[in-house]
Chain A
């Protein structure tokens, strides 16, 4: 930016040159400051002018909207998007194979879930009551999903699908995996060699293999592990697999936080006469978890995205439901609309999580961080 070198009081006539202030000045400083940058700017502007209008045209102006069936889309294929595909198949994508007459139930579950999440995002509401609200909410959500009481039709979990399944798998997975991960992290930092080695082997084993392998194991090997005659359903097996997987990753994040706590904190806690568990619960973990919030949220986001892999063992999560919608011969070929629809949903969830974590990180800063 330009610098004001003249410190004498300025007359009416002595203003900075018009090219160095205002929008023009900003453009000169940020878009045309060197010949190389000017060339880049012009090149990019040209590419944007070439690509954005046709893209907008495809997405909005030439697109087919509303409940009009596949024929108008076929007529205009390649010219405009076919949003009537989403109109027709949106319910299948969002709710999977859930009976269509009962789809108000998963809808209500999602509203409830998003409401609870929104409430949890407000720090002034963080209290014991919020935990109770989640507990009650979870019971209500499960009752709504399963039904069978209060005159609601019973819906087996093999028919669950779409967004509620994705959200459920990831939330329950994280809620159960988190304490497991903390215990594994503590075990890895323990000075008992046997406990430490068991935790190290578990964490490294799980982190060393792709999630698909763990899910395969869950779907193929778990039935072998159980006593003859005992079976657990596919959804639960996938859930257990995801929990085992997430716990190892969360453990490493928490370990990072634990390692960052200075030794003095441990010693201070011990000198107060606190035992191991009270030392951890009252002194070490609150600090360690706070500094691990950003990487924890990154792990959450990764885990949320990874729930798409349950497609491999045949569950109808959001992505697989979209794939299923595309197998309809009448609508075959509108993959771009279907996947874009899913991508927007995933993006909204992941992006808001990452923005929220950045926000929280700033608020929780205790003033030690360098600016």
Chain B
């Protein structure tokens, strides 16, 4: 007893035996170790840079780039500076990612639903697609598609012409586009107005239904606003229908827009590969909603469409959306494989710059900054979304 009291009444245990004190010591050690490591790496880097006489800093972005970029959304020539070269790269990354995401989503949903089809043949085909594409490296698939386009398709003279105005050759794909006209600008503006108006009407309809219980035919109204308004604007603008058709001239194609082989292979490869993953997510999301939910909803007297819209989809989407966004992010990051087949995305342009200027640290920091801000933006959106749809439990 006496011994106990002396121990207990001791003013303080030694720092080492106090969990809080120990935590502080551990953290000081860890932080110290990390700081030391960084200091070591940075001092080595400084010394090496001095030895190689490379000036650090982003001043090189203003210098003349001196190389051409095969496709660009903005004006770019060899006389432009490295800064705009990077901008071209970033825009090209965005272009292929946005289109890839759109195609992968549609394809993925279709295949995901097909995997659940009651038709044995359809389900098995969808399963083979998913297993085949998921288990082969994306880079190999990209090389394959690039090979299909550049080796197996005929030259421009014998280009395959499946539809009028569409030419497939080993120099890329030619497709017709509508000729620029004022009506298209108007239709674009009308589309934006339609989307905003739909949103406003939807809020009003929801509030009214909550207040009075009267439903509003939102689907018809929304479709009318989003599709109808632009069509109306296009009609009012004179309904121009002239297409800029590609034609085979003496040496090359004129007119239309070109999808380069690099872009086409990258877009196709990324979209089909990511679609396999999205299909699995969609399938598991639909399976996650138990059949009892459907039965309960029908017991309440909801029609089939309403059951799907009000009961099944909201619950399935809660499972589907978070992993799907990370697939979108993966697609964007995977678009950096463009460098292997020569599509001028951010990494490709950056790599050229790096080889020309030797500004390795700066080029790699630009890569990291761009991809990181994209990831952070998407995860911020995800957190917001997750909070919004999270199950509210009592």
Report which A residues bind B (CB closer than 8 A): 30-31, 33, 37, 40-41, 44-45, 191-195, 198, 204-205, 207-213, 216-217, 220-221, 223-228, 301, 305-306, 308-309, 311-312, 319, 323, 333, 335-336, 339, 342-343, 346-347, 350-351, 354
A204 to B375, CA, bound (A): 9
Binary flags per residue of B367-391, CB closer than 8 Å to A gives 1, else 0: 1100110111000000000000000
Shortest beta-carbon distance from A263 to chain B in Å: 17
Taking A220-B364, A339-B143 as contacts, is the C-beta distance between A301 and B44 under 8 angstroms? no
Complex A-B: 18 CB contacts under 8 Å: A37-B117, A37-B118, A37-B122, A40-B122, A44-B121, A193-B27, A194-B27, A198-B30, A205-B368, A209-B333, A209-B371, A210-B367, A212-B347, A224-B49, A224-B361, A226-B44, A343-B140, A347-B136
Q: Among the listed B26, B131, B371, which residue makes an inter-chain contact with A210, where contact means beta carbons less than 8 Å apart?
A: B371
Q: Assess whether A30 is in contact with B119, with CB atoms less than 8 Å apart.
A: yes
- B113 interfacial contact with A, CB 8 Å: no
Say if the beta carbon of B306 comes within 8 Å of chain A: no
Given A40-B119, A212-B347, A220-B360; A309-B337 close (CB under 8 Å): yes
CB contacts (< 8 Å) of B339 on chain A: these are 212, 312
* A204, B118: Cα distance in complex, Å: 41
- Give Cα A214 to B254, complex, Å: 42
Q: Are A33 and B135 in contact (CB under 8 A)?
A: no
Q: What residue of chain A has the Cβ atom nearest to residue B360's Cβ?
A: A220
Q: Does B106 contact A (CB under 8 A)?
A: no
Among B132, B136, B372, point to the contact of A209 (Cβ < 8 A): B372
Please measure, in the bound complex, the distance between the C-alpha atom of A142 and the C-alpha atom of B342, giving whole angstroms. Answer: 36
Q: Given the known inter-chain contacts A213-B364, A225-B44, A335-B147, please indicate yes or no for A308 contacting B135, CB distance below 8 A.
A: no
Given contacts A221-B364, A312-B339, A339-B144, A210 and B334 within 8 Å (CB-CB) = yes
Q: Which 7 A-B pairs have the closest CB atoms?
A: A208-B375, A350-B135, A335-B147, A30-B120, A194-B27, A210-B333, A305-B137
B13: Cβ under 8 A from any A Cβ: no
Q: Are A333 and B151 in contact (CB under 8 A)?
A: yes
Question: Which of B30, B47, B139, B347 is packed against the most chain A CB atoms within 10 Å?
Answer: B139
Q: Cβ of B257 < 8 Å from any Cβ of A?
A: no
Contacts of A33 in B (CB 8 A): 118-119
Task: Indicate if the CB atoms of A221 and B119 lie closer than 8 Å.
Answer: no
Cα A345 to Cα B119 in complex, Å, equals 31
Given A226-B48, A305-B135: 20 more A-B contacts, CB < 8 Å = A37-B118, A40-B122, A204-B375, A204-B376, A210-B334, A210-B347, A212-B339, A212-B347, A216-B347, A220-B360, A223-B48, A224-B49, A226-B44, A228-B47, A306-B137, A309-B139, A311-B139, A323-B143, A339-B147, A350-B134
Closest residue on chain A to residue B144 by CB atoms: A339
| Residues of the B chain whose Cβ atoms lie less than 8 Å from the Cβ of A323 | 143
A208, B376: Cβ atoms closer than 8 Å: yes
B235 within 8 Å of A by Cβ? no
Q: Does B161 contact A (CB under 8 A)?
A: no
Q: State whether the Cβ of B207 lies closer than 8 Å to any Cβ in chain A.
A: no
Q: Which of B45, B137, B143 has the most CB of A within 10 A?
A: B137
**A221 contact from B27, B136, B151, B360, Cβ within 8 A:** B360
Cross-chain contact B367 with A319 (CB below 8 angstroms) = no
Residues of A within 8 A of B336 (CB): 210, 212-213
- Tell me whether chain B's interface is mostly helix, strand or loop, or mixed: helix
Closest to A195 in B: B30
Given contacts A194-B27, A339-B144, contact A351 B118 (CB under 8 A): no
**Does B169 count as interface, using CB distance less than 8 angstroms?**
no
Q: Determine if B125 is an interface residue (Cβ-Cβ < 8 Å).
A: yes
Q: Mark B349-375, 1 if CB is under 8 A from A, else 0.
A: 001001000001100100110011011
Q: Smallest CB-CB separation from B51: which chain A residue?
A: A228
Q: Are B120 and A224 in contact (CB under 8 A)?
A: no
Which of B143, B334, B337, B360 is A335 in contact with, Cβ under 8 Å?
A: B143
A residues in contact with B361, CB < 8 Å: 221, 224
| Whole-angstrom CA separation of A191 from B354 in the bound complex | 41
On whether the beta carbons of B368 and A347 are closer than 8 Å, the reply is no
Residues of B contacting A193 in the complex (Cβ-Cβ under 8 angstroms): 27
Partner among A31, A312, A343 whose Cβ is within 8 Å of the Cβ of B120: A31
- Tell me, rounded to whole Å, the shortest Cβ–Cβ distance linking A35 to chain B: 12
Contact assessment for B44 and A216 in the assembled complex, using a CB-CB cutoff below 8 Å: no
Residues of B within 8 A of A (CB): 23, 26-27, 30-31, 34, 41, 44-45, 47-49, 51, 117-122, 125, 131-132, 134-140, 143-144, 147-148, 151-152, 333-334, 336-337, 339-340, 347, 351, 354, 360-361, 364, 367-368, 371-372, 374-376
Q: Which residues of chain B are near A209, meaning CB under 8 Å?
A: 333, 367-368, 371-372, 375
B34 and A319 contacting across the interface, CB-CB below 8 Å: no
Which of A192, A211, A213 has most chain B Cβ within 10 Å? A213
Interface centre among B45, B143, B361 (most CB of A within 10 A): B143
Distance, CA A213 to CA B117, complexed state (A)? 41
How far is B48's CA from A205's CA once the two chains are assembled, in angstroms? 25
In contact, A319 and B119 (Cβ under 8 angstroms): no
Q: Which residues of B contact A198 (CB under 8 A)?
A: 30-31, 34
A120 CB to nearest B CB, Å: 20
Other-chain residue from A37, A217, A335 in contact with B151 (beta carbon distance below 8 A):
A335
B137 touches A346 (CB 8 A): yes
A209 to B367, CA, bound (A): 8
Residues in A with CB closer than 8 Å to B144 are: 335-336, 339, 343
- Distance between Cα atoms of A216 and B364 in the complex (Å): 8
Residues of B within 8 A of A211 (CB): 333
Tell me the bound Cα distance from A189 to B137 in angstroms.
33
Cα A309 to Cα B41 with chains together (Å): 26
